[in-house]
A and B are shown apart, each in its own frame.
Chain A
Amino acid sequence: DVVMTQTPVSLSVSLGGQVSISCRSSQSLVHNNGNTYLSWYLQKPGQSPQLLIYKVSNRFSGISDRFSGSGSGTDFTLKISRVEPDDLGVYYCGQGTQYPLTFGSGTKLEIK
């Protein structure tokens, strides 16, 4: 299975600040078709996970441009700029290139 290593485990940021979350995979996530199926999700307290970013850098419908994804191969980053109170929760990366699909262990974002 592809192991997804997410860091940090938690972070605290001031409102208006910027944070980065790293996600590394144990194998390249480049699919045979040339696409890289790396997604980012946010689970807010008491809610189900929501898709933020798919295929590394594509924002899902309705997602603010304060969220941006980047990376390639095995190394990926989610950046959140101008952090708002509603951004708190647990962020996950997930890969869909190789079955079984796997997820990172989560990064908890707290607001200072």
Chain B
Amino acid sequence: EVQLQESGPGLVKPSQSLSLTCSVTGYSITSNYWGWIRKFPGNKMEWMGYISYSGSTSYNPSLKSRISITRDTSKNQFFLQLNSVTTEDTATYYCARSILWDYWGQGTLVTVSS
């Protein structure tokens, strides 16, 4: 069974970087696509980007200058880095298997606050 688990700090200060890890079990990240989606307070959901089986990436243009998705295939993990965060980046962050978004992590709440 494919399982994903997010980990990382729950509190980040404004202007700093947000870094999250997604650990995948039951499926190799060298197959398929793997991405990040966030859900803001309220119901708005935003696709952030993905990393492909080959390591290529695609990002939401709204984040393009601040976001980086990388991976460590030896650990079957992929990572999110979001730079220069503001309070508007406060959200629950989910990693998931793209393209169908058929398997999701449980989500991790990240609060941006001083």
Contacts and interface: CB of A to CB of B under 8 A. Distances in A.
B47 A101 contact: yes
Question: Which interface class (under 10, 10 to 19, 20 to 34, 35 or more) fits A?
Answer: 20 to 34
* Interface residues of chain B: helix, strand, loop or mixed (majority): loop
A100 interface: yes
Contacts, number: 46
Interface in B67-114: 94, 99-102, 104-107
B58 A49 contact: no
A51 B62 CA distance: 25
> Looking at B45, B47, B62, B106, which has the most chain A CB atoms within 10 Å of its CB?
B45
B43 interface: yes
Contacts of A41: 101
B114 to A, nearest CB: 29
Nearest to B6: A48
Nearest to B49: A100
Nearest to A58: B100
Interface string A49-64: 1110010000010000
A92 B46 CA distance: 12
Interface stretch (A20-28, A66-74, A75-83, A102-110): A102-110
Nearest to A54: B100
Interface of B: 43-47, 58, 60-62, 94, 99-102, 104-107
Interface of A: 37, 39, 41, 47-51, 54, 60, 90, 92, 94, 96, 99-103, 105-106, 108
Given A96-B101, A100-B60, 9 more contacts: A37-B99, A39-B100, A48-B105, A49-B45, A51-B102, A54-B100, A90-B43, A96-B99, A106-B45
